[in-house]
Amino acid sequence: MKKKSIFTLCITVLLSAVLITGSALGATGIWEPFNYYNSDLWEKANGYSNGNMFNCTWRSNNVTNTSDGKMRLALTSSSYNKFDCGELRSKAKTGYGLYEVRMMPAKNPGIVSSFFTYTGPTDGTPWDEIDIEFLGKDTTKVQFNYYTNGVGGNEKIIDLGFDASRDYHTYAFDWQPNRITWYVDGVARHTATTNIPKNPGKIMMNLWNGTGVDSWLGSYNGANPLYAYYDWVRYTSR
């Protein structure tokens, strides 16, 4: 029993060190402080475009880790009227639980900075998605949304009382079988209880500029480079 206790203590200390110093995937969740790029947990979108309202091409070079321990997504222009954007997503799918991000979105008309879960036909599943989105035209607000089997129309705009593009704040959603509750700096701001998604999805973050959706995002003026910053991400399984 003594040997087993010592072994258990050593394992606990080692796991704690991993969680403190670098990203980790455990039985109960994910902790990502963005000290470095962990290719075992994450992948960068590269070399293609989602098309439709996305007016850019995903580039892995537009996803970088900064020297002060942040993950930076960039929106840039490689040539006139050609735009590159950034997206990071988890390799593993996650289900019900608490999803948290500490981030600072980009500010400019016509763009979106996001944190969300997604799965869809490319994964062999229905389209289920839960969103935290910042529309760059007004970063004093945040948009919460979700899709279940491709059915959306659940947008909710929340006044933050501050400009999200000026400092880091913590945004979260708690996804349960019968509800989703969104939080800003630990305070519940919106709850949905109808037609809740059920399929596990990938954790995703992206920055992109839109086209043909001016009524939603405003008209993108071509300004670049633009950056969204992510301090950390945490997922806790329920």
> Could you confirm whether 133 is annotated as catalytic?
yes
Candidate from 18-32, 35-49, 172-186, 220-234 with smallest mean pLDDT? 18-32
Model confidence over 170-204: pLDDT tens digits? 999 999 999 999 999 999 999 999 999 999 999 99
Q: Per the residue annotation, which of 32, 87, 100, 133 is the catalytic one?
A: 133
Residues 231, 23: contact at Cβ < 8 Å? no
Of 183, 208, 179, the C-alpha closest to 102 is 183
Selection from 71, 19, 17 nearest residue 228 by Cα: 71
* pLDDT above 70 (res 47): yes
pLDDT one-digit tens code per residue, 93-113? 999 999 999 999 999 999 999
- C-alpha distances in angstroms, 70 versus 96, 102, 136? 26, 10, 20
Q: Is the pLDDT of residue 11 over 70?
A: no
* pTM score: 0.90
Residue 59 has pLDDT above 70, yes or no: yes
Name the phi and psi angles at 223, rounded to 5.
-60, 135
Domains of the chain: 26-237 (2.60.120.200)
Helix (H) or strand (E) holding 227: strand 226-237
